[in-house]
Homo-oligomer: A and B are copies of this chain.
Amino acid sequence: MTSTFGEKLRISIFGQSHGDAIGVTIEGLPAGEEICMEELYAFLQRRAPGKNDMSTTRKEADMPRFLSGIMDGKTAGAPLCAIIENTSQRSKDYEKLADIPRPGHADYTARLRYGEDVDMRGGGHFSGRLTAPLCIAGGIAKQILARRGIHVGAHIAQIGGVHDAAFDPVHVSTADFEKVLSNFIPVLDAQQGEAMHEAVLAARNDLDSVGGQVECAIIGMPKGLGDPMFDGVENRIARAVYGIPAVKALEFGAGTAYAAMHGSEANDPFYMDGEDVKTSTNNCGGVLGGITNGMPIVFRATFKPTPSIAKPQKSVSLSNKQDVTLEIHGRHDPCIVQRAVPVVEAAAACVMLDMILSSDK
């Protein structure tokens, strides 16, 4: 497992779904940065399960415990470690799952990779639950970034066939981020949010699940950050975001739409805005040659449907080497996208802060 990313800011995630605790160590945080626990708590709540009928009814512990790296509410120059104790595990189905891998899950590949002793209870280290410590790191990074005028926001761009309005890639602002947070679910267009809600409930009623897409924007990043060829903005975000379970596609700016475009519409024209160089469109998503150009950084991550569904599915018994039919019971999210929104923000925030700390400028 290399559950670590970042260059100067190194985020390292540990824990299994049904272990004693999950947590994160963060190396490289600047010292003397205040951490507002209320703000962090509010951020973690956005990821927490059980808030509405679109997510699992499982409960999670409220707040992380900080073991190191802070003193008097400020970062202390030493690596920070924060943990969340596990309290609400139910492992009874484990025996069966160890033999019959759940389609779409890492059950089978984890056994191939780590052998029979791998802890896959509740998904083990592959569980979506491991995004909670990522959110601790991201929540802290967001606070530090905000003090530097950098803001990260995201919304549900799509669930099933229902699309939200997109961020305006040129003018996206903190007002948009606030609007997203004011809605029942994190969307720009509340009506579309309602349609998404119905799509999720329909899937749940059908013992099924549904996928979706999250769009994220970062505003205020300094110009000129990024290390081409392989440590540019896209490479770094990709490494982090593809670490979020269920992400299967990642696009920057116009993304896949670029394939059908001509250069004359795709190229973002430069113009002078007073003393400042800007572009009048932002198809590139704020990144040229892997380096920030001062426009908002915009990307989208596609999540596959939650693989845990109650519908009967075809699988195999690894011990008997026979085809079998599997029914998964338990409390699962019919759609993970709602809860994934802050996780994407967290990953982006960690990468942005790392880029700032790693800059040799």
Residues of A participating in the B interface, judged by any CB pair closer than 8 Å: 1-5, 8, 10, 12-16, 19-23, 25, 27-28, 30-32, 65-69, 71, 74-81, 83, 101, 103-106, 108-110, 112-119, 121, 124-126, 130, 158-161, 203, 206, 208-213, 223-232, 234-235, 238-240, 242-243, 245, 247-256, 258-264, 266-272, 275, 277, 279-280, 283-285, 287-293, 302-309, 311, 313-316, 318, 321-323, 357-358, 360-361
Contacts and interface: CB of A to CB of B under 8 A. Distances in A.
A10 B227 CA distance: 13
Given A1-B227, A105-B288, 13 more contacts: A16-B69, A32-B114, A76-B124, A105-B289, A108-B270, A208-B263, A229-B243, A234-B248, A249-B250, A258-B305, A261-B305, A267-B307, A270-B315
A304 B16 CA distance: 40
A263 B209 contact: yes
Given A1-B228, A2-B231, A104-B284, A71 B269 contact: no
Contact of A12 (B79, B268, B306): B79
A291 B113 CA distance: 7
A278 B145 CA distance: 36
24 contacts: A4-B27, A12-B25, A13-B229, A15-B67, A15-B68, A71-B117, A77-B110, A78-B119, A105-B289, A106-B228, A106-B290, A113-B224, A126-B228, A211-B261, A211-B262, A211-B263, A232-B242, A235-B243, A249-B258, A254-B304, A256-B256, A258-B305, A261-B305, A263-B308
A253 to B, nearest CB: 6
Nearest to A280: B314
Given A30-B360, A256-B249, A293 B242 contact: no
Copies of this chain in the oligomer: 4
A255 B262 contact: no
A305 B100 CA distance: 46
6 interchain residue pairs of minimum CB distance: A106-B289, A112-B224, A77-B114, A32-B117, A78-B125, A238-B238
A270 B102 CA distance: 8
A306 B263 contact: yes
